[in-house]
Structure 1
Amino acid sequence: MARVLVVEDDPDIRQLVELRLRGLGHRVVSAASGPEALTVIAERGTPEVVVLDVAMPGMTGLELLHNLRAQPEHAELPAIFLSARVRPEDIAAGEALGATYLTKPFVVSALAAAIDKALAGAGQAAAGW
């Protein structure tokens, strides 16, 4: 299965997503913030897919993905936003970055399908993890 980085500031939601993804066979590492996610990627390498919250303090998920996509080695990193924000402008901003946008509360099968679709479209092999 895939190496997945989960970036979520709410510890309960982060743990739930981790447990669900591990239950599906994925290798999961998580971060509680954008800066922490950047550190995880620097230390462990690029994940095969990243699952991000939008509304996080300090650095939003949109800002984090924009930052990652600005780096050539992460320009094609598959991303899925998992957010309670359902404003059209947030969804459009996530999709403009090439990410899938799912809303909370989430259905595990929808997240699993989004990860499978993201991986099918990605041809990268990530090191580490």
Structure 2
Amino acid sequence: MARVLIMEDEPNIAFVLKIAMSEEGHEVRTCQDGLCGLQQLEKGPLPDIVLVDLCMPRVSGRAVVEAMHKNQKFQEIPVVIMSGSIPDARNFPPANSYRTLITKPFDLFKVLEIVNELTTSQCLAVS
């Protein structure tokens, strides 16, 4: 079981992801914007993986990813970016700050596969 933090401003997408990951046995928290997501990271417990939408209100997904990358406490947490469009390079976080990009609409089974793969490899690295 992994702790998953989902930052997604579209309630239906967040709901579907939460249900699917919970059914896989993961402990899931959701936030509807980047500010809430950053607060959850600070509050803890730290997630094993973060899924973040790039376009969110208050604090963008790019800003969240960059803040995580700059903070040593969060640098080892795998980040998966979700986006309905591929933004230009100016709006995209540095490539070394996230693990993979999932484009919307996405295949739910592929998302679960990515989460399971990244959290399993994370557990193996810690063991």
- For Structure 1 versus Structure 2, the TM-score category normalised by the shorter chain is 0.7 to 0.9
Q: Which amino acid aligns with 1:89?
A: A
- 1:9-53 deviation line (CA, Å, top 9, x unaligned): 111111111111112111100111111011112222210000110
TM-score (norm 2): 0.85
TM-score (norm 1): 0.84
**Would the aligned equivalents of 1:95 and 1:101 in 2 still touch at CA under 8 Å?**
no
Q: Quick one: percent identity of the two aligned structures? A: 22
Cα root mean square deviation, aligned: 2.2
Structure with higher RCO (Cα < 8 A, 6+ apart) = 1
The answer for unaligned runs of 5 or more in structure 2 is none
Q: Distance in 1 between matches of 2:61 and 2:36?
A: 12
Give the SS at the match of 2:76: coil
Name segments (4+ residues, structure 1) moved above 4 Å.
none
Counterpart position of 2:101 = 101
**Would the aligned equivalents of 1:51 and 1:79 in 2 still touch at CA under 8 Å?**
yes
Residues paired across the two proteins, number:
125
Q: Which amino acid aligns with 2:16?
A: L
**Would the aligned equivalents of 1:31 and 1:37 in 2 still touch at CA under 8 Å?**
yes
Structure 1 residues 111 and 95: CA distance shift in structure 2, 3 A: farther
Q: Distance in 2 between matches of 1:8 and 1:114?
A: 17
Counterpart position of 2:80 = 80
**Would the aligned equivalents of 2:62 and 2:92 in 1 still touch at CA under 8 Å?**
no
Structure 1 residues 112 and 106: CA distance shift in structure 2, 3 A: same
Q: Which amino acid aligns with 1:79?
A: V
The answer for unaligned runs of 5 or more in structure 1 is none
Give the SS at the match of 2:105: coil
Counterpart position of 1:13 = 13
